[in-house]
Amino acid sequence: MKGAIVNLGCVVTGSWREPFAGGDALGFEDGVITHVGKLDKDFLESADIVIDANGATACPGFIDSQVHNTFGDYTPRQKTVGFLESYLHGGMTTAISASEVHVPGRPKDTDGVKALAVAAHKCFENYRPGGVRMHAGSIILEPGLTEQDFQDVYDQGVWLAKAGFGAVKTPFDYAPMVHAARRVGMITTVHTGGASIPGSSAITGDHLLEMNPHVSFHINGGPVAMPEEDFERIALHSEIAMQVCTAGNLRTMIKLANIAVDHDVFDRFLIATDTPTGSGIMPLGMIYSMINVASLTDIAPEWLIAASTGNVADIYGLNCGYLKQGKIADILIIDAPLGGTQKTALDAMKHGDPCAVAAAISDGIPRFIGRSRNTPAPTRKIRVQDSRIQNFFET
């Protein structure tokens, strides 16, 4: 499919250091962004679909790096079907597994956790609920796992490993397993803060520095935060990405955002939801975290979009999260919410209002155009200007 978005008022790139692109148009073909800024007449005439943004804002689709998937689009924790498809209507086009720890009766032996991770990964290889790309299959670290075990699952496509829910005597016992998983090329993540469910334990700064994972999950608390004196230790004395989550401590989230800015490590600041959990299902979780930080700090909303897109893509090695040539065409059109006091999506977010998601495109395929069923309606009318496609995307 070849598509175009025209008449954009603003293009947010997903890069916090270079947050804006010039021009007023985007082009994509075969699932990849081909043009940023301008489109010529030939491209527009050959496009399968042309979307008129009517002065609204484009940004990359959000990447939620802490989603508690199981199998299919179902969460047993909240007994709800269709949550991933619903998150698309909150702007999330890519989800990353926080391990399949919520699978009822989940295995805890080494063969079982390996099988669970492989099965989850393979189940989502070609399954896109609502168009969401789900990176599933995160092996749960349990005593007895060896480097060869990590190599076994890595060879079958599993590239995520999660510490925090295993039957270890102390969180320090995770360190050898985290190091082994890293050696075979896996991205390693760690539950951070107080215990969240039976079987988890409190993990604090000393544990994190010993383990040295790629990502400290919900460093602002999931839902209980670790001691605050540990935050700057992680920022200054490690390369660990500091992921904050909607289902955590808001005061601590704001503190961590300011620490990331003050120490110039904002590229390691990631926004996620940590849902579905006991905190519930949050289709607008990514947006809520962005607007809470934007409205209560001096941090610009375009930086917080980067923390939900490009920063995540860089840490996890994904070819999405940016509006740049060659990146996967995961694109949102966002706008000021209808009836609000602000005129643009970014101004609304800075004001503390949720932006309206007026269109979502993933893998270069429009999933909806016009308005989301979960966000407020947009101020501007976003419409299909021209289409050769039989599917009708407008809502």
- Strand boundaries in 102-231, DSSP class E: 133-135, 138-140, 160-163, 187-191, 215-217
Both 242 and 183 in one domain: the answer is yes
Shared domain for 92 and 67, answered yes or no, is yes
Tally of domains within the chain: 2
276 cis-preceded (ω within 30 degrees of 0): yes
Q: How far apart are CA 69 and CA 71, in angstroms?
A: 7
For 36-60, how does the pLDDT look when each residue is reduced to its tens digit (9 = 90+)? Answer: 999 999 999 999 999 999 999 999 9
Task: Report, as an integer, the average pLDDT of 161-176.
Answer: 95
**Reduced to 3 states, what is the DSSP secondary structure of residue 90?**
coil
Residue 394 lies in a domain: no
The runs of H, that is alpha helices, within 124-184 are 147-154, 174-183
Same domain, yes or no, for 31 and 124? no
Residue span of the structural domain in which 379 resides: 2-60+321-387
Please tell me the predicted confidence (pLDDT) of residue 142: 97
Residues 325 and 237 in one domain: no
Provide the CATH number for the domain around residue 199: 3.20.20.140
* 34 & 105 share domain: no
70 and 111 housed in the same domain: yes
Residue 342 exposed, middle or buried by CB count within 10 Å (0-12, 13-18, 19+): middle
Give residue-wise pLDDT tens across range 254-272: 999 999 999 999 999 999 9
Evaluate if residue 191 carries a pLDDT over 80. yes
Boundary (domain end) residue, out of 283, 312, 344: 283
- 55 with 67, same domain? no
Considering the domain architecture, whether residues 43 and 180 belong to the same structural domain is answered as no
Same domain, 346 and 234: no
Amino acid 286 reads: M
How many angstroms separate the Cα of 383 from the Cα of each of 182, 358, 363, 393? 46, 9, 19, 9
Task: Provide φ and ψ at 335, rounded to 5°.
Answer: -155, 170
Please state the φ and ψ torsions of residue 207, each to the nearest 5 degrees: -65, -45
* Residue 300 structure tokens: 């610009």
* Domain membership flag for residue 130: yes
**Domain boundary residue, one of 223, 254, 283:** 283
DSSP per-residue string spanning 216-252: EETTT-SSSPPPTHHHHHHHHH---EEEEETTS-HHH
Q: Among all chains, which residue has been given the structure tokens 């079982």? A: 112
- Do 146 and 195 reside in the same domain of the chain? yes
pLDDT at 302: 98
CA 172 vs. chain centroid, Å, equals: 28
User: Considering the domain boundaries, does residue 152 fall inside one?
Assistant: yes
- pLDDT score recorded for residue 73: 97
Specify whether the CB–CB gap between 142 and 163 falls below 8 A: no
Binning the chain into helix, strand and coil, the percentages to the nearest 5 are 30, 25, 45
For the beta carbon of residue 11, count every other beta carbon within 10 angstroms: 22
In a domain, 382, yes or no: yes
Task: Give yes or no for residue 394 having a pLDDT over 90.
Answer: no
Last residue in a domain, options 283, 301, 334: 283
Q: Is 300 inside any structural domain? A: no
The whole-number pLDDT of residue 114 equals: 98
Instruction: Using the predicted structure, report yes or no on whether residue 216 has a pLDDT greater than 90.
Output: yes
- Are 266 and 141 members of one domain? yes
- With 90 as the cut, is the pLDDT of residue 122 above it? yes
Domain contains 308: no
pLDDT band per the 50, 70, 90 thresholds, residue 93: very high
- Triad 270, 239, 143: Cα angle to 5°: 90
Q: To the nearest whole percent, how much of the chain has pLDDT over 90?
A: 94
Residue 307 lies in a domain: no
